[in-house]
Amino acid sequence: MTDQQWQKLLAVIAGEALEPMPAGFIIDSPWLPGWAGISTLDYFLIEQLWLEANLKAVSQFPDAMFLPGFWAEFGMCTEPSAFGAKCSWQENDLPYAGKIITDIQSASSVAQPNPATDGLLPFVLNRVKRCRAPIEKAGHRIRFAVSRGPLNVASFLMGTTEFLMAIRTDPEPTHKLLGTVTDFIIDWLGLQIHTIDSIDGVFILDDIVGFLGEQDFTETAMPYLKRIFDSFATRVKFFHNDAAGLVCAPHLAQIGVNLFNFSFQHTISEMKQLTSNAVTLLGNIPTRDVLASGTPQEVRNSVAAAMDSVRDRSRIILSCGGGMPPGVPTANIEAFLTAAGTL
């Protein structure tokens, strides 16, 4: 993000209503490689191609905030790899992390990794350090420390179904695992912040939160998310959950979140009400069916419709309901930004 974009982001989070309305997108490996014309494997493997793809995006769409911006990652393998998960790679598809826990009772004995030395994390950090100079030369800065959330990481280590069942059937080892994963995430975010002094935001992604009911959320997710966000004094505390977001929305401010990206299945006005307008909302048109597969006119119509029921336009950054999906064409992003500028 540029300094100007960062100041706009802080202003929106503070409650200012900006004109034109700001627009932003989460962009990473599902979208960037295909849009930039390179393979997914090359995007992960070749530092220069990763840098060029990100520079191309910020150059092509200067009016969009890209979040977190120049995201160095290896898909869902990033954090699980530090625990020893087997990572499977394909040329033009996202990598996958295999399970390492086959028995819930063994979850209690999972060792906490060292983010400075373990798995793919040193490569993530080294990429940011090596590319920092050309990123800043282009007028941008690394603003966010990023990690998948504790439930998301735990579900990769155990398997999603097995983890969700264990929340109810074996709470003690499940909480022990979540405690270990949370400690690791705090260390990992702290290492990023210590290494890159321009970071002033924390970004946590955890879709598994959306599969929980109220009791399971407050007992199994909320304490660990709050501990993560409470560990840092950054000005932006960003949470992504594009599964069902109704269960977490009323608790976000208490957790410490001030920026939330949520599912397109929930309207902006609905989320404003659930968050008591205390959290800035990043959304909210359908990702795949409109932004990726729709026509430019359908994109413009969807942006307008998303705002029709919203009277208070503060604490809103127009986006899609999730990260930028694969296959979104340039024309649809331009249509989105045009629509945002006319609202």
Looking at residue 65, its pLDDT comes to: 97
Looking at residue 343, its pLDDT comes to: 65
Q: Is the peptide bond before 20 cis (omega within 30 degrees of 0)?
A: yes
**Low pLDDT (below 70) residues in the chain:** 343
Ordered domains of the chain (ranges, CATH): 3-342 (3.20.20.210)
Neighbouring CB atoms inside 10 A of 122's CB total 15
Place of tokens 């420390």: 145
Looking at residue 108, its pLDDT comes to: 84
What's the token pair of residue 153? 């990481």
Looking at residue 245, its pLDDT comes to: 77
Cα separation, 240 vs 205, in Å, equals: 5
* Interstrand relation of 93-97 and 87-90 (parallel, antiparallel or unpaired): antiparallel
Greatest distance between any 2 Cα atoms in the chain: 56
Cα separation, 79 vs 30, in Å, equals: 17
Looking at residue 193, its pLDDT comes to: 98
Cα separation, 246 vs 232, in Å, equals: 25
Cα separation, 119 vs 27, in Å, equals: 23
